[in-house]
């Protein structure tokens, strides 16, 4: 099994970037042979099944049909236009499997399912001949995506096993697509788990960790193996590990669609985590087994460039790879009704491709949500100024990037060498203000990094994700002398910073119930002991659960927390001056026509002592403090002298109606 990352993911600035090599943009033989028609490697009907494969450098191609593991038929494919090879087999072949074998330079390559297999055998070495219409669950034709206002968006990142495999989850299908589709699941304490928990929390977009077929787990053996899935093998079929019947190629498709429909019926949008930046070992991937050396960036010595830290990096700038990515994503939207995509190591992809993706997907779903990691694990082998690095997010309208600015400001650095604002550490004030403003240019923000967002909706505000230590483990490592009560106050303050920012808030599954990964950082292939959520935590730490739930409700109640444009942020958001380096306050003002409130005051105190803030004179509803959220307000605060004192490691939100 290969390492998930050779270099820790999530690094926005890599020293090696300064010396990035550029690839040649010369037109190749392959680039001169790009079909205009969509990629359709297998087309089924009861009368005949047609096959085609793009292999412009091949000397010969055969397609083999298998009845189970038994070779039933071999057909030589005929060379056609634009690098395509074609063949048709008569009769009803549904239920059989197929594999292509390409000969290049006199050498027959290993069999492959191709690059666009939509259904697979166990472990994805062969494609399956199916009728896609038979994979639709009941009511699928009436399924529709919820329409969520941008001001209400909240992303919840989850892994199928994390959410459902612990006995306390109370699901019938732990670790499976159907497990996440179940309604009415309860913990031993009688509290909502799984899908019902997401609805209860009020999140709007559920970010599913990699769901396309990956090469990390042997599907042929019933196992409790765990993997995040960042090792893609086949991009257009669901992973079999999460299906109840791995050997049934239609089951995994039907069960994933069942999950999507269940989430849509519950009012939730579905986001897939996609990993087009690299593949599993190249010798096992359809890219290299159909057109060797084309789909990847290659060094001059013929070795694979490795900006992913996983052994290779794909070449999105090449016409067929660009076409492939676009059509693959379109397929997920059309066939599975997916509502958004998160791009792993997005900076390996070029900006032109990302903008084309946005344009094509918005034509299918105007509300599509697109965001990604604006960094790479190492320097990609391409012109840095043409790649989707975080600092160029403003050049990709409609696409957002994770903000390590607000992440590091709130909780500290990746290497755990120092804490952040919630620990009372100085030096994070301007970075936090930058994150609160949604990463756009603001005259009152003096951050060392230039504004990289053209709109605050391009800024994903978060404090943790699946990568790196989760928040509880970080707090216990960095503040071992603190009591649990004190650490919970720090967690609440961190969430308060995320959910009052102008960006789109993002939360990692279980953080709202103070989950732990037992101090481990990179749990990508570790047992459920480290990854599964113990739902008894929801009962133990229900105060934190209710706090995060309240922040989500508060954000939805006040559209001013998502003003939408950079101009509106600069017009309506002003920061409150305070000399303390661990104190940040701001006012959302002149909100007539935007919010039911006249103005909103947010005060964040990361210091370990009380801090006095100057605020506009007026009468306010008290809607949040460091302990609880009161969406409708609890009591009034008369700031007749324009001053208020905020408790240590705490936050306050006041609303002037």
pLDDT (tens digit per residue) in 171-212: 999 999 999 999 999 999 999 999 999 999 999 999 999 999
Task: Count Cβ atoms below 10 Å from residue 648 Cβ, excluding itself.
Answer: 17
Q: Which of these, 249, 269, 250, lies nearest to 259 by C-alpha position?
A: 269
Encode burial over 522-533: b for 16+ CB neighbours within 10 A, e otherwise: bbbbeebeebbb
386 DSSP 8-state letter: G
- 194, 169 contact by CB (below 8 A): yes
What does the alpha-carbon distance between residue 392 and residue 389 come to, in Å, rounded to a whole number?
6
Active site residue 344: yes
Q: What are the DSSP calls for 250-290, one per residue?
A: HHHHHHHHHHHHHHHHTT-EEEEEE-TT--S-GGGSHHHHH
Q: Global pTM? A: 0.96
Q: What is the pLDDT of residue 26?
A: 52
- 342, 371 contact by CB (below 8 A): yes
Copy the structure tokens of residue 77.
Answer: 């494919």
The reply to whether 572-656 shares the fold of 42-114 is yes
Strands (E) in 173-266, as ranges, are 205-208, 212-214, 232-238
Q: Give tens-digit pLDDT for 323-340.
A: 999 999 999 999 999 999
How far is the CA of 124 from the CAs of 47, 116, 208, 524, 568, in angstroms?
Answer: 26, 11, 20, 21, 49
Q: What is the pLDDT of residue 10?
A: 43
Question: Which residue carries 């459920």 as its tokens?
Answer: 528
Cα angle 416, 419, 425; round to 5: 155
Residue-range domain boundaries for the chain: 42-114, 572-656
Encode burial over 4-33: b for 16+ CB neighbours within 10 A, e otherwise: bbebebbbbebeebeebeebeeeeeebeeb
Task: Quote the distance between the C-alpha of residue 625 and its chain's center.
Answer: 31
- 189, 219 contact by CB (below 8 A): no
- 259, 158 contact by CB (below 8 A): no
Question: Which residue carries 């967002």 as its tokens?
Answer: 453
What does the alpha-carbon distance between residue 76 and residue 82 come to, in Å, rounded to a whole number?
18
596 DSSP 8-state letter: S
What does the alpha-carbon distance between residue 224 and residue 218 come to, in Å, rounded to a whole number?
11
Q: Which of these, 610, 615, 605, lies nearest to 654 by C-alpha position?
A: 615
* Active-site pick, 52, 373, 384, 512: 373
Rounded to the nearest 10 degrees, the angle between the axes of helix 404-411 and helix 429-436 is 130
Copy the structure tokens of residue 203.
Answer: 């999140």
**CATH code of the domain made up of 572-656:** 2.60.40.1180
What does the alpha-carbon distance between residue 205 and residue 268 come to, in Å, rounded to a whole number?
6
Q: What is the pLDDT of residue 30?
A: 87
What does the alpha-carbon distance between residue 341 and residue 349 come to, in Å, rounded to a whole number?
14
Q: What is the pLDDT of residue 28?
A: 76
Q: What is the pLDDT of residue 567?
A: 98
Active site residue 231: no
- 208, 160 contact by CB (below 8 A): yes
Question: Which residue carries 């500290």 as its tokens?
Answer: 412
Q: Which residues contact 106 (CB under 8 A, 6 or more apart)?
A: 59
* Active-site pick, 219, 231, 344, 595: 344
| Per-10-residue mean pLDDT, the chain, length 657 | 39 38 57 92 98 98 97 98 97 98 97 98 97 97 95 97 98 98 98 98 98 95 89 97 96 98 98 98 96 97 97 98 98 98 98 98 98 98 98 98 98 94 96 98 95 98 96 97 98 98 98 98 96 98 98 97 98 97 97 96 98 96 96 92 96 95
- 368, 362 contact by CB (below 8 A): yes
Q: Which of these, 608, 612, 606, 614, lies nearest to 586 by C-alpha position?
A: 614
| Gyration radius of the chain's alpha carbons | 26
Q: Which of these, 298, 277, 291, lies nearest to 24 by C-alpha position?
A: 298
Domain 42-114: top CATH class: mainly beta
Q: Which residues contact 597 (CB under 8 A, 6 or more apart)?
A: 558, 560, 588, 591, 655, 656, 657
Q: Which residues contact 203 (CB under 8 A, 6 or more apart)?
A: 154, 155, 156, 268, 507, 552
């Amino acid at each position: 099994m290969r390492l998930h990352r050779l270099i820790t993911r999530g690094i926005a600035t890599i020293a090696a970037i300064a010396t990035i090599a550029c690839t040649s943009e010369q037109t190749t033989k392959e680039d001169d042979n790009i079909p205009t028609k969509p990629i359709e490697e297998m087309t089924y009907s009861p009368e005949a099944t047609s096959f085609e494969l793009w292999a412009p450098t091949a000397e010969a191609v055969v397609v083999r049909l298998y009845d189970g593991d038994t070779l039933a038929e071999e057909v030589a494919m005929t060379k056609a236009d634009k690098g395509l090879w074609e063949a048709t087999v008569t009769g009803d072949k549904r239920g059989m499997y197929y594999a292509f074998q390409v000969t290049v330079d006199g050498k027959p390559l290993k069999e492959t399912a191709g690059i666009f297999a939509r259904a697979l055998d166990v472990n994805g070495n062969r494609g399956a001949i199916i009728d896609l219409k038979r994979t639709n669950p009941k009511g699928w034709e009436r399924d529709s995506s919820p329409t969520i206002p941008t001001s209400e968006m909240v992303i919840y990142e989850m892994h199928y096993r994390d959410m459902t495999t612990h006995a306390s989850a109370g699901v019938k299908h732990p670790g499976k697509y159907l497990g996440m589709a179940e309604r009415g699941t309860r913990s031993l304490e009688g509290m909502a788990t799984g899908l019902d928990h997401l609805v209860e929390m009020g999140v709007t977009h559920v970010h599913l960790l990699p769901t396309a077929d990956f090469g990390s787990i042997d599907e042929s053996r019933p196992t409790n193996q765990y993997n995040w899935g960042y090792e893609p093998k086949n991009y257009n079929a669901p992973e079999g590990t999460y299906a109840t019947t791995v050997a049934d190629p239609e089951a995994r498709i039907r069960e994933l669609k069942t999950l999507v429909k269940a989430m849509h019926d519950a009012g939730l949008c579905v986001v897939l985590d996609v990993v087009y930046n690299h593949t599993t070992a190249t010798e096992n991937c359809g890219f290299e087994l159909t057109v060797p050396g084309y789909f990847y960036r290659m060094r001059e010595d013929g070795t694979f460039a490795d900006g992913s830290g996983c052994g290779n990096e794909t070449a999105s700038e090449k016409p067929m790879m660009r076409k492939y990515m676009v059509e693959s994503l379109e397929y997920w939207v059309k066939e599975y009704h997916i509502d958004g995509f998160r791009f792993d190591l997005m900076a390996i992809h070029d900006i032109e491709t990302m903008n084309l993706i946005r344009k094509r997907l918005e034509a299918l779903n105007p509300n599509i949500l697109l965001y990604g990691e604006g960094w790479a694990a190492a320097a990609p082998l391409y012109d840095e100024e043409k790649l989707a690095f975080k600092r160029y997010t403003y050049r990709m309208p409609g696409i957002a990037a994770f903000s390590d600015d607000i992440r590091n400001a709130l909780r500290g650095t990746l290497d755990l060498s120092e804490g952040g604002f919630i620990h009372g550490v100085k030096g994070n004030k301007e970075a936090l203000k930058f994150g609160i403003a949604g990463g756009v240019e603001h005259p009152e923000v003096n951050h060392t990094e230039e504004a990289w967002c053209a709109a605050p909706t391009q800024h994903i505000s978060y404090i943790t994700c699946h990568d790196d230590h989760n928040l509880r483990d970080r707090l216990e490592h960095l503040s071992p002398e603190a009591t649990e009560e004190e650490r919970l106050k720090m967690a609440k303050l961190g969430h308060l910073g995320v959910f009052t920012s102008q960006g789109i808030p993002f939360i990692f599954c279980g953080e709202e119930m103070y989950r732990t990964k037992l101090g481990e950082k990179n749990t990508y292939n570790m047992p459920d002991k480290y990854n599964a959520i113990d739902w008894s935590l929801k009962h133990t730490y229900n105060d934190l659960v209710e706090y995060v739930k309240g922040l989500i409700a508060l954000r939805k109640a006040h559209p001013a927390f998502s003003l939408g444009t950079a101009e509106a942020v600069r017009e309506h958001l002003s920061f409150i001056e305070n000399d303390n380096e661990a104190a940040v306050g701001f006012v959302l003002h002149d909100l007539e026509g935007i919010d039911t409130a006249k103005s909103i005051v947010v005060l964040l105190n990361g210091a370990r002592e009380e801090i006095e803030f100057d605020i506009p004179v007026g009468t306010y509803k008290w809607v949040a403090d460091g302990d609880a959220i009161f969406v409708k307000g609890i009591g009034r605060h008369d700031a007749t002298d324009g001053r208020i004192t905020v408790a240590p490691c705490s936050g306050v939100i006041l609303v002037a109606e």
